[in-house]
Each structure stands twice: as C-alpha cells, then as structure tokens.
Chains A and B, each alone.
Chain A
C-alpha cells in the first residue's frame, strides 16, 4: 500500500481545498492517521472508497474520543548562556489544547486486503458546535457505530439516516463516555469502608454501629 504521505497528496489533488494533516504516532504500533477537515469529510471518504488503487471498501471501526480542554506540558532541553557559561537548561513549554470531540475511522480494503488507513474528524468544540458529517452514506457499517458515538459522546452526525440513542434509553440526558460525566450516586454498601468511601457512604447511612 502507498504511504500516508502519498495518499495525502493524492487526496489533495482530487478534492479541492481540502485541509489534511498527518497525526504522528510515536508508539511502536506506528499507526499514523489523517486528520480531515469537517467540510470535506464526506468527499474524502468517497475518494478513499472509490479510488482504484486504494479501494478502501470496508470501514472496520468507527469510534469517538473525548478531548476536554487541557494544558499540555512539553519538556525540552535548550542550550543557554548563563553567566558566560554555556549550559543545558530544561525548559517547559505549555500549550493549551482546545476542547473538541473526535471521530476516528479505521478503513481497510477487503478486495485488495490492505489497511489500515485511519482518518479522524474533529468537532469545533464540545458544547454546541458538535456536528460532523456522517459517513454512513459511504459505509453502511458506520450506521450503528455512529449512533453509538452520538449516544455516548454527543457528536451529531449530519446526514445520518436514523440518529437516535442506541444503548441508553430515549429520555436519557447525559453523554456517559465523556470524561467529565458524573455517574448517578448509586450507593453501594461496602463492608469495610474507609476514607473516601466512608465520606460518600455517610450520606446514605444514617446509623453507625460499632461492633
């Protein structure tokens, strides 16, 4: 299969004004992915499926990831001249990561038996601008998976034929897979409560018996 750089330049040639970015992956798996902008998500997906050389006819996995706003710290060493002597000083660079939700798709080709090509789409933020194009018109296998992402993460997929809650019940209000979700206080009895558990348990247990 072609490298991700080649695929990227071919998409750029085929889809006008598309913005792509390669997301690096330094772990031993080295599965890098392609960040696609929202507006051209559907066009890129169509290209990847219909292109003769790639022919990614099978979308194996579609999932959401929640990225709340966070401060990222990066440590790196710089050479500095302190009191006339050159020294290596460690500096910390802080960057603010904006909050967004992400949908990740793992694409394979059943005919050509290659893959994966991983594409990601990001929403603008986690609150009101949480729309992404649905890829269900391109791959039916996204149907149930996108419904699941909608249910658990709250990404709204425009163009999905039947976007409803799938795992939780219809009247449910929260998005449980988000990192800031707080589960209902379901008190569970613990025989030997201590510290944190004890503090939580006190709200439910009126009587305390010494044995």
Chain B
C-alpha cells in the first residue's frame, strides 16, 4: 500500500495495514532466543538480559532451554570441533522460522583461537547466519544492535514472491547435515551448500 495514502487516511482516523505487516510485527517483537552459551561471549549475553541493559525491552528476554521453543540461536562463543555437531543438531531441532546471530569473533571466524586445531573457523561453515556481531566480546550494546538489525530483517521479509523467506518456501532446506567426527578432523570440514572459500582478491 502506498505510504502517502496510508498517512493521508490516518489523518482521517482510518488505520489500515497489511497482513504482511501485522504478521512480521508480531514475529519481530517476540523473538525467543535459545538459552545457549558456549564461552566468554555468553557472559555478555547474560549481562545483556540483566537489569542494566534489559533485553526485555525488545521482547526477547524469554530464554528458552529447549530448542523446540526457540526462534533464535545466539551462537555466543567459540565453537570447537567437538561441539560443532551438537550446535548443528540444535539448530536442526529448532522449528522454522529460525534465525542465527553469530556473536563474537570466535563464532564468526574462530577469532583469537583460529589457529587452534580443535576450533571451528566460523559457524557459518555449517549453518546460515543472519547477523554477525564483531568484538571480543561484543559489548551488550552491540548485541542489542544485532537484535534491532534482526528485527529490521524480519519486518522487511515479504511473504510471497520469489524472495519469500525459507519457512514459507518448501523447496529450501530447514535442516542441515550434521558433521561427523573423523580421525583427524570433522567430516566434512564444511558444508559446501552453505559455505565456500571466498574468491581471492588482490589489489
């Protein structure tokens, strides 16, 4: 609906909306995260949900212990190779629509520990990530900003058409293969459907 017409109508006391807007408005203001802390960043995540930063203002203070009740997975901390299969499995167990925030340098790329033999170099090798937050650890304000970014992303989603989100498109997968423990490394080391080595750019 045309924005100008809408505000014109509003002046006359007529409020209109679209189904899409109401649907997204409801979803974006009740994102329930999974209570899932991996390492240091999780402490900042807890601090965000406490009185000073008060995540409840964004409708997201209900941390669910079970993935079946959660909409959002905050990967807060270092994902080790030993933990990666469990992270993917938890993601698979969450119902659609589901979102992922990669919090901190470790979840993005391995961060300070990226030379480690047991550290996964970014959770985006196995599951799609919606918002990345840099920082080691990111401040609570950064996590709040990520929440707002995610809310923006949700409210911008179109319900029909080719760009409709994954949970409305039966053709796109909602579960991703869980890597297995190999003799030297995880097998496979990444999920090619989600992640490929980026092209080399040199100035």
> Do A and B come into direct contact in the complex, CB within 8 Å?
yes
> B114 and A172: CB pair below 8 A?
no
Whole-angstrom distance between the Cβ of B190 and the nearest chain A Cβ: 9
> B202 and A211: CB pair below 8 A?
yes
> B181 and A208: CB pair below 8 A?
no
A205's contact among B82, B121, B184, B200, by CB below 8 Å, is which?
A: B200
A186's contact among B181, B189, B199, by CB below 8 Å, is which?
A: B189
> B202 and A205: CB pair below 8 A?
no
> A193 and B184: CB pair below 8 A?
no
> B117 and A184: CB pair below 8 A?
yes
> A171 and B183: CB pair below 8 A?
yes
* A-side interface mostly: loop
Q: Is the C-beta of A176 less than 8 angstroms from some C-beta in chain B?
A: yes
A169's contact among B181, B197, B202, by CB below 8 Å, is which?
A: B181
> B117 and A176: CB pair below 8 A?
yes
- 10 A–B contacts from the bound complex (CB under 8 Å): A168-B82, A170-B181, A173-B183, A181-B117, A188-B114, A189-B197, A189-B198, A192-B202, A201-B200, A202-B200
Q: Is the C-beta of A204 less than 8 angstroms from some C-beta in chain B?
A: yes
Whole-angstrom distance between the Cβ of A195 and the nearest chain B Cβ: 12
> B200 and A193: CB pair below 8 A?
yes
Instruction: Report B's interface with A, CB cutoff 8 A.
Output: 82, 109-110, 114-118, 121, 181-185, 189, 197-203
What are the residues of chain A within 8 A of B110 when measuring CB–CB? 188
> B200 and A207: CB pair below 8 A?
yes
Whole-angstrom distance between the Cβ of A131 and the nearest chain B Cβ: 23
0 or 1 for each of A180-197: is its CB under 8 Å from B? (1 = yes) = 010110111101110000
What are the residues of chain B within 8 A of A207 when measuring CB–CB? 199-200
A184's contact among B82, B184, B197, B202, by CB below 8 Å, is which?
A: B184
Complex CA gap A173/B182 in Å reads 9
0 or 1 for each of A130-166: is its CB under 8 Å from B? (1 = yes) = 0000000000000000000000000000000000000
Instruction: Report A's interface with B, CB cutoff 8 A.
Output: 167-174, 176, 181, 183-184, 186-189, 191-193, 201-202, 204-205, 207-211
Complex CA gap A174/B185 in Å reads 10
Knowing A172-B183, A193-B200, A205-B199, the reply to whether A188 touches B189 (Cβ < 8 A) is no
> A205 and B197: CB pair below 8 A?
yes
> A188 and B200: CB pair below 8 A?
no
Whole-angstrom distance between the Cβ of A68 and the nearest chain B Cβ: 18
Q: Which 5 A-B pairs have the closest CB atoms?
A: A184-B185, A183-B117, A205-B200, A173-B183, A204-B197
Whole-angstrom distance between the Cβ of A43 and the nearest chain B Cβ: 37
What are the residues of chain A within 8 A of B182 when measuring CB–CB? 171
Knowing A168-B118, A172-B183, A181-B117, the reply to whether A187 touches B197 (Cβ < 8 A) is yes
Knowing A171-B181, A172-B184, A173-B183, the reply to whether A186 touches B121 (Cβ < 8 A) is yes
Interface centre among B116, B185, B200, B203 (most CB of A within 10 A): B200
What are the residues of chain A within 8 A of B117 when measuring CB–CB? 176, 181, 183-184
